[in-house]
Amino acid sequence: MKAISQEIQNQSIESLESTCNKLATAYQRMTEKGVNTTLVKKRLNAVKMGLESLKNIWNGENFSSDEETILISKKILEGIMPSIEKQIAKAKEGSSQKTLNDRRLTALKLAIESLEKRLSTSLRD
Delimit the domains of the chain by residue range: 6-120
Asked if the model's pLDDT at residue 124 lies above 60, the reply is no
Report d(CA 49, CA 111) in Å as an integer: 8
Burial status of residue 95 (CB atoms within 10 A of its CB: 0-12, 13-18, 19 or more): exposed
Percent of the chain with pLDDT over 70: 96
- HSE-up of 64 (CA within 13 Å, CB side)? 1
pTM listed for this prediction: 0.92
pLDDT bucket at 64, cuts 50 / 70 / 90: confident
Quote the pLDDT of residue 2.
Answer: 76
